[in-house]
Structure 1
């Protein structure tokens, strides 16, 4: 089998809506001829141990360190993204670092927060081929 290129992804998401994150990573895991390294911070692997106090500045630095080695930021753009300061920071930091942003409309929805749609290089529906093709195009 030929060597697959490992795309370096940062997936912006809200822990409160972790099912969507798990659905997306499973979709990417199951995609044919697609390989990736996940630089995200899922609930199971947080930026810092639970109970460790961090300042907003320290959290920003930790997030930036996750985004820096990635090639693209993927935003699971449920309406909750409109209310998450950290997700907005991830978008802003990705733009500052020159990373393309891929927004994914929530499953079965036609709307996404304007902050995501206005800053995404591309928006796609919840579909394996659409997501993988967009990653390849943007990277």
Structure 2
């Protein structure tokens, strides 16, 4: 209790671990990696990754239904869903399914506006609870506001 008050008195955020599901296209893994770098480098921000990176064995699911169920299991444990709002998201059946699952499970969605992108996904932005700019402060602040 004293420690909490000390952090708040100093203007520092309360420390907690944020369980994040990061929805992204494997074709654009460099954006995913940069986003995880933002989280790892941000001061006073602890997080756990519940997303589906390319090297995760979840890809061995035999059917789309099995993969969807596995993704649902990951989103279930997330306190927030972060979606890279690149235009590719508009055409991804998996990102659309992840949005649907997040909504069904009442998980807040943070859309991240890609740096320098001229076009972004209307579908992602329309379903987001908040749209963050492509910098760690904006993204982390959005997560802290929304995460359950």
Same structural fold, with TM-score higher than 0.5 when normalized by the shorter chain: yes
Task: Pick the structure with greater CA Rg.
Answer: 2
Q: Tell me what 1:66 maps to.
A: 74
TM-score (normalised: structure 1): 0.92
For residue 104 of structure 1, report the CA deviation from its aligned partner.
0.4
Q: Does 1:92 align with 2:92?
A: no
SS in 1 for 2:110: strand
TM-score (normalised: structure 2): 0.86
Gaps of 5+ in 2: 8-13
Aligned-pair Cα RMSD in Å: 1.6
**Structure 1 ranges of 4+ moved more than 2 A:** 1-4
Gaps of 5+ in 1: none
Q: Tell me what 2:10 maps to.
A: none
Q: How many residues align?
A: 136
Cα displacement string for residues 26-82 of structure 1 (whole angstroms, at most 9, x for unaligned residues): 111000100001100111224134xxx611111110110111100110001111101
Q: Tell me what 2:128 maps to.
A: 120
SS in 2 for 1:36: strand
Q: Does 1:11 align with 2:19?
A: no
Contact 1:105 1:124 (C-alpha < 8 Å) held by counterparts = yes
Q: Tell me what 1:33 maps to.
A: 44
Structure 1 106/46 Cα, relative in aligned 2: closer, same or farther at 3 Å?
farther
C-alpha separation in 2, matches of 1:62 and 1:42? 13
* Residue 33 of structure 2, aligned match among 22, 31, 48: 22
Higher helix share: 2
